[in-house]
Amino acid sequence: MKIFVYTALDEAARRYLQAQLPAGAEVTFGADLPAAAARAALRAAEIVLGNPPPAWLAAGPLPELKFWQIDSAGFDRYKGVKLTTPVANMGDFFAWACAETMVAGLLALYRRLPELVLLQAKQQWVGAEVRGRQGLLRGKRVVLLGAGTIAQAVREQLGGFGCAVRLLARRDPRAQLHTTEELAAALPDTDVVVNCLPGSADGFFSAELVAAMRPDAIYASVGRGNTTDEPALVAALQAGRLGGAVLDVTATEPIPAGHPLWTLPNVLLTQHTGGGQPREAEGKIDQFIRNLERLRAGQPLENQVELAEGY
């Protein structure tokens, strides 16, 4: 069994992977090879773990491929790749961590923690003045864009704060909002919007939707940066037409030097760390091994996806 690995694994994680593979498995790590050799190894592989460049997969058929395990939750960049072999993503592996990042960011803005951290660095004690401007996450009216595993985890966590949560999704019966028009009508009475949309929803949160938000509302995003009209969001934040933003994802990553998102005081950037958690690499390997065992046993895979559908 030839396995091609195109994901960042340190030596400890590599040993962890190899210790669980079936006897006779031959592993090639793309990071150890020049690009041309890595592409050749991909074409010869029966099993792929990781996220190789889309162009490598679209260049032609992969005649030996039997299974591909994507090592992320999102896979919209592969929408144009056509494969007949089964493909799985990481599903809900990152969901709880991403949700905690969003909730932590919202709490930080409401409780003025970024401001307090800066004051601590300056050794300035002005607590009474800050105290008068603090808010509460408790009881806030929240709309979650999306109804997938991340959105469900955010909803569960916000339940502990007594938030009134509604979901937006086109077809999911668990959602209360299903159209852009319904969302626009709901925004004037919404305190927090959390964007959990995949990259296939390009430009969904438009300038019109940004303008429909309350001036004290907070916008948070953990889906994909291309789903938000970022210039409109920045303009609203700069003009004081929006209370703040928690952004794990942005249109361009890394954000270029001099971009206003670096310096806006009402913006918290978490730099696409939302899914981070202890033993992250080992957890992804565990999921890959489970699917490899299912494949060999002829059982349904965990988190199997359709590349063309985007989910």
- Given pLDDT bands bounded at 50, 70 and 90, which one contains residue 274? very high
How sure is the predictor about 310, in pLDDT bands with cuts at 50, 70 and 90?
low
pLDDT above 70: percentage of residues in the chain? 99
C-alpha pair distances (Å), 208 with each of 43, 228, 287:
45, 11, 40
Digit-coded pLDDT (tens) for 53-97? 999 998 888 999 999 999 999 898 898 898 999 999 999 999 999
Q: Which of 270, 229, 265 is nearest to 253 (CA)?
A: 270
Query: Does pLDDT of 309 surpass 80?
Result: no
Which pair of structure tokens corresponds to residue 80? 């144009």
Does residue 39 sit in helix, strand or coil? helix
pLDDT at 59: 82
Over residues 4-25, the mean pLDDT reads: 96
Q: At what angle do helices 113-122 and 95-110 cross, to 10 degrees?
A: 70
pLDDT at 42: 97
Residue 179: CB atoms within 10 Å? 10
Task: Provide mean pLDDT across the span 163-173.
Answer: 96
Domains of the chain: 2-91+277-305 (3.40.50.720), 95-269 (3.40.50.720)
The mean of the pLDDT values for the chain is 96
**Tokens found for residue 168:** 């937006």
Q: Which residue has the tokens 């997938």?
A: 148
Q: Does residue 308 have a pLDDT over 90?
A: no
Q: Tell me what pLDDT residue 21 has.
A: 97
